[in-house]
Amino acid sequence: METIRATVESLDDKHFIKIETGDEDISIPMSEDKPNEVKSAFNKIITRIKVGEFQIKLEEVREDLFSQVANEYITQLNREIQEVHGEMKEYGLV
């Protein structure tokens, strides 16, 4: 199983999770309510699931709040990725 790198990025007091897929980076906003950006990020993740099974690993887990939240978010996201991959496999989509 491939491991994809993620980092917590900050730009102008805005924080987001940056996932480096190799082809296109995926950004998930953490400090703003932007449902369309989250939806777009999840669509990109689903597209990436079709390429092959993977997990996301946060490069550096620091003690700050955003890093801790990102770490938990990625833990949950990895569970969802495994479930979606299993369902896609079950229905012959991967």
Q: Kindly list the domain boundaries of the chain, sorted by start residue.
A: 2-90
**pTM of the complete model:** 0.86
Dist CA 74 CA 94 (whole Å): 22
Compute the C-alpha angle 74/70/18, nearest 5°: 80
pLDDT tens for each residue of 67-88: 999 999 999 999 999 999 999 9
Q: How confident is the model at residue 25 (pLDDT cuts 50, 70, 90)?
A: very high
Q: How confident is the model at residue 22 (pLDDT cuts 50, 70, 90)?
A: confident
